Structures are given as C-alpha cells and as structure tokens.
Amino acid sequence: MEKWWKRAVVYQVYPRSFMDTDGDGIGDLNGITEKLDYIAELGADVIWLSPVYDSPNDDNGYDIRDYQSIMTEFGTMEDFDRLLAEAHARGLKLIMDLVINHTSDEHEWFRTKPEYYIWRDKPNNWQSFFSGTAWAYDEVQKGYYLHLFSKKQPDLNWENEEMREELYTMMRWWLDKGVDGFRMDVINMISKDPAFPEAKDGDGNPHFLNGPEIHRYLREMNDRVLSHYDIVTVGEMPGTSPEHARAYTREENKELNMIFTFEHMELDQTAREKWNLKKLDLRELKANMEKWQHALHEEGWNSLYWNNHDQPRIVSRFGNDGEYRVESAKMLGACLHFMQGTPYIYQGEELGMTNVKFDSIEEYEDIETRNMYSEKLAKGIPPEKIMPAIWAKGRDNARTPMQWSNEPNAGFTKGTPWLKVNPSYPKINAACRNEEGSIFSFYQSLIRLRKKLEVITNGTFTLLHREHPAIFAYERETKAEKITVCCNFSNQHQLIARPNGKLLLSNYKEVEEQPDLFLRPYETAVFYSG
C-alpha cells in the first residue's frame, strides 16, 4: 500500500515568528492553533513545528533544555495538547522537530550525566558551524567538550547506550501523545570518527557527516521506536549525496522515510562558505535536481524544498522580488511541486514573502549571522563588505514575522516583535490571499493537483532542454498520464517548442495557442495529457 506521506504536502511553522496571541512579541502555540484553519485552507496535510521545547534560546530552540516541557514564551503543555487535538480535528498531522545531535548546555544531563557528551583533554582543529573552534573548556569537568554548533549546544555522545535509550524513551513519549512524526535535526552528524583527527583546513565535516555508526544508530532507533508507529520521518542531512540518501531512505533499510539534502542550496556559493556569493547557473540547478530525481526514483524518497528557517527567501534568491515577484514566486512553486517527492512549504512562501535588508547588524538576531559578522570584523573586513552577504543569505531573512495583514506589525503581534517585521507587509500579507491571481491560490492549485494526478507522485522524470541557460523544463510520465512543466527563470522572453497536451496550469492570464511556446518573464506553463 502506498505510504500516506508520499502524497502529503508539509507546511513548516517557525513558532517564534508565526502568530503572537499574548502580546510579548514572540509567537506562541495558541497563535498556531488560531491559524490552523489558514493552513488547512492552503491544503497542506502535515505541519512541521520547529522546536517548541524548553530552551534558553541561544539558537532559537535548537538548544533544548528539557525535551518534555514547552518553552515558556510559547505556552504550556496544555496549549500543546490543544494544538495537537485541534490539528487532528482538521485532518492535519503534526510533526515535531527533534534535535538530538546536541542539547543545551543547560540541559540537566550536562551536569548529572557528563558521559552523555563528548570530552577531550585537548581540542582538535575542528571549526564550529557558528564560527570559531568546535571545543569549549569546562571548569567543572576540567576538559573540552565538542560543540559543532554554538558553545551552548554540546554534542551528545551517541556511543553511550544509556543516553540513546533515554532519547528513545522520550521519543516514544511524544509519539504516544499522538504526534505524527519527526523532522530530525542534523541527524547525519550523530556518529563521529572516534579518533577525532585533525582536519584539513579545520573542516571536520568528513569526520562526522555520515559517520561510521550512523546506519547502526538509525536502524536501532527505527527498530526500538519508529517502526511501532504510523508516522513520517525526515532527516536533515547536510553533506549527503544521492547515494547516501538511498541508504537512509530505502524502505528495506528501515531507517528514515526521507532526508533533506543541501546540494541545491549550495549552488549559489563558492567553496564551503555560504557567505561567498555566486550567481546561480541554472544548468547546475537542473543537473542537480535531475540527479536526485533519478537516484531516488523507486528507491528511497525525495523531500522537495526551496525554503526553511535557515534559508533566504526563494523569490529573492532564484526568482525576482521586484517587478516579477508574483510571477516568479508561482513559477518557482510549480517548478518544485511537480517533481517526485514530498514538498515542504515554509511559512510565508505561499505569500511570496521576500528577504529583508536591515541596515545594521544590531537589528539581526541570528547567532550564525552575528558570530560570522564578529569574526569577519575582527579580521579587518569592513561592515559594508559583510552586510551584502547577510542580506542575501542570512537566516533572519526567513525569520521575520509572518505577514498576516496590513495592520501594525503585519498583524503578527500587538507588542514589539522580537525581530523586525519586513517593511513589505502592507503589500504582501495573508489578508490578500483570496485576491484574484494570488500566489496563495496558485499554491492551493499545486496542492490540489498533487492530490488529483497520480503521475505527480509516481511518474518518471525526464529533463528537457538541458543546456538552456534560462529554461527549466521536465516531463513526468506514467503509462496513463504525462505532464510537461516549462519554467522560465529569466526576465527575458524565451522561445521553445510547444509540448503536447492541454494547458493545465499557468502563471499568466492569457496564454496563446501557438505552434511554439513563447515564455514571458518568469512564466510557467504546465501541460497534461492522460
């Protein structure tokens, strides 16, 4: 029987920025409950909640102090139970963000069970993802602990069996409550090379990405926990190839259902550093997506995404957030949603929300951004050379409050928002979602079509016009149906041969019946025969 999550569409909520109901400027669980009808109206089936657990918020909840209680700013466990019940009442599933590569240094284990963490007498040269060394000295233990992220996010020692058991028990507790699965944070980093060797250029990645015991741990977790529930699991996995992905997601391997790859998110940077900007070459994007579509067809499963809370807004990134914002937001949606895999929509994507450009670093909250800024400043790089990278790539681009209406603070809060609202809100907001030609209604159509046409879930994938620098076109096919998706990634007109079939979807009003297909700026045209 086909797995339900193969036809599902996931909507990601970043609770801190979604909806504030108590006026403290921080989103909360009751705010999400209040907006469930909105998510249902869009047509999504599953909500992925970024972390809502008790946390000192060094990294906005990705540093967990207590896995079994709710962050005070977000509400109470009763609020959570109500959110879950109300979601289920609307036929929506809810999955939790599970951060188990590390905890907060304020988790009680850090003091009561130091053996649950990774200690060395001397640090090696691995660098943290959030700048600087990945080791911090602890006065109590008189040793260095590993933190791949901030120093308030010590890495857990997965070699410790008792620690793993405690995590499994905690996971069962949430599943027994009725949550419908997990998105697992950097889950391919849990197994480190036990030798902790010095790394080339301080890049420890080869020594902890997809490490030696990773498959053993995931199979154990599957056997002990996941396989006992009808749930969905998605592993966030930087540095994974399609071959890795197959190993993680092939059904018979009994590990995870799907993973998030990062390859397509690294095409507009040079080398390892996301801050080194490079213009996207569309041919590279096409080749990459094609590779993943083929590699996981009938062997494993893809997740499809352009956005999340760590990535800049796609319309500003691969589209055009000026003159062609509406057209390009729809085109990007179509380009992704007709592929094989489970699509993820990040809050505000369905409105075509854009990046922000705050003048000063003081207006940014993200730890990754702030640390990078300080590090570069200390190296003598002037602010005007650093800010453009933050405008293009900073994580706060995704984290500005959800734009609900043209009321003050975009209707997100009656207080002062924890992060400034994007000044675009009078024009870009959810209150306009039912206006004719809205991006929201286009996303509704994308979701409706996925439910209706089997070819979107199961068809083969064939890339067309491979060498074309501005057109991304592909076919999906089963014995009974065929879809051809044509997307213009440029602000110029492009001419290609008209595919067979009748027009199924377009982001322009009038489409002419001509022998050739004349694609206008950022136009998408999707053809169907069946």
- The contact set with ligand ISL (CB under 6 A) reads 59, 62, 99, 129, 149, 185-186, 236, 238, 274, 309-310, 368, 395
Active-site residue, selected from the candidate residues 20, 138, 236, 396: 236
- Helix orientation angle between 161-177 and 214-224, rounded to the nearest 10 degrees: 40
3-class DSSP state for residue 299? Answer: coil
Comparison of 73 and 368: residue with beta carbon closer to ligand ISL: 368
CB of 17 to ligand ISL, least distance (A): 13
Angle, vertex CA 331, rays to CA 329 and CA 336, nearest 5? 100
Q: Which long-range contacts (CB under 8 A, 24 or more apart) does 495-503 make?
A: 495/519, 496/465, 496/468, 496/471, 499/473, 499/475, 499/527, 500/527, 500/529, 501/527, 501/528, 501/529, 502/527, 502/528, 502/529, 503/527, 503/528
Please identify, using beta-carbon distances, which residue of 123 and 238 lies nearer to ligand ISL. 238
**Angle CA(349)–CA(250)–CA(155) in degrees, nearest 5?**
70
Tell me how far, at minimum, the Cβ of 433 lies from ligand ISL, in Å.
27
Please count the other Cβ atoms lying within 10 Å of the Cβ belonging to residue 511: 14
For ligand ISL, the closer of residues 132 and 501 by Cβ is 132
Least distance (Å) between residue 52 CB and ligand ISL: 14
Q: Which is nearer to ligand ISL, 28 or 59 (CB)?
A: 59
Residue 292 is classified by DSSP as H
Kindly tell me which of 99 and 258 has the beta carbon lying closer to ligand ISL.
99
Q: How far is the CB of 268 from ligand ISL (least distance, A)?
A: 12
What single-letter DSSP state applies at residue 406? S
How near is the Cβ of 509 to ligand ISL at its closest, in Å?
37
In 300-430 the beta strands, taken as DSSP E runs, fall at 303-304, 342-346
Tell the burial category of 426 from Cβ atoms under 10 Å away from its Cβ (0-12, 13-18, 19+).
exposed
Bridge partners (DSSP) of residue 46 are 10, 93
- Selecting among 45, 59, 185, 321, the annotated active-site residue is 185
Cα pseudo-dihedral 529, 258, 315, 357, rounded to 10: 180
Contact (Cβ atoms closer than 8 angstroms) between residue 75 and residue 86: no
Nearest approach in angstroms of CB 135 to ligand ISL is 17
Residue 236 bears catalytic tag: yes
Q: Which CB sits closer to ligand ISL, 395 or 476?
A: 395
Q: Are 16 and 27 in contact (CB under 8 A)?
A: yes
Residues with catalytic annotation? Answer: 185, 236
